[in-house]
Amino acid sequence: MGSTEEFIATTPLFRGIASDEVESMLGCLGARRKRYPKGAYLLHRGDRTSSLGLVLSGAVVMQAVDVWGNTSILGRASRGSVFAETYAAVKDEPLMVDVVALEECEVLFLNVERILTTCSSTCAHHALISRNLLAIFAQKNLALSRRAFAAAPKTIRGKLLAYLSFEAGRCGSDEFTIPFNRQELADYLGVDRSAMSAELGRMQKEGILETQRSRFKLLDADRVRNM
């Protein structure tokens, strides 16, 4: 497991913890590993979980499906990221989303109560992973706020401009790659994919941007920010 432990030590959850200390910590945290094929459900809406998931390979998405079959992507966890930590931290809280394997993946599940409860030896490493988890909670909260800002405009163009403006600022460049394909972006913004694609086509014709798949280039960034 050496290479796996070395990778785990590089993740935000285990930041500051040496790889040779990871193995003993995993036993303390009730760790269990599991593989899933693409499309498999790791957790279902209504499930209760006491463990967060740390993605060791592949990626998963958190999605909600309404009674008409419309899917909304609420988040994504790729290699090194965690998911379900909020539900695991709130005892007996049922999930409001499904967690689905976006591709073949391997996940390490860790008991959150064991992370948040100081162990009998009050080791520094335990305190550190608790602080790391708190930082992850804060970052996720900011991500939800960003999504709310992107979804706030009433028009599809407004939603696209809000999201793309943020991504340009985050990357520090007017040319960047987003972490979504077209369908995932439409789900993230809560719009119809065909209507969104048509709007992107009009924005290209108007010289506002260039795009190919997940790659975007804002041709007139000042105009985008002021629209």
pLDDT, average across residues 55-78: 88
Predicted confidence (pLDDT) per residue in 69-89, tens digit? 878 778 889 999 999 999 999
Hey, which CATH number is domain 2-143, 3.40.30.20, 2.60.120.10, 2.70.98.30, 3.40.630.10?
2.60.120.10
pLDDT, average across residues 55-77: 87
Nearest to 31 by CA among 84, 107, 131: 107
Q: Which pLDDT band, with edges at 50, 70 and 90, does 119 fall under?
A: low
- For the cut 60, the answer to whether the pLDDT of residue 20 exceeds it is yes
Classify domain 152-226 at the CATH class level. Answer: mainly alpha
DSSP state letters, 111-152: EHHHHHSPPTT--HHHHHHHHHHHHHHHHHHHHHHHHHHHH-
Give me the residue spans of the domains in the chain: 2-143, 152-226
Q: Which pLDDT band, with edges at 50, 70 and 90, does 120 fall under?
A: low
CB atoms within 10 A of CB 14: 24
- For the cut 70, the answer to whether the pLDDT of residue 198 exceeds it is yes
DSSP lists the bridge partners of residue 110 as 52
pLDDT, average across residues 186-203: 93
Q: Between 174 and 68, where is the model more confident?
A: 174
> What confidence score (pLDDT) does residue 222 get?
61
pLDDT, average across residues 136-152: 87
Q: Which pLDDT band, with edges at 50, 70 and 90, does 94 fall under?
A: very high
- For the cut 80, the answer to whether the pLDDT of residue 52 exceeds it is yes
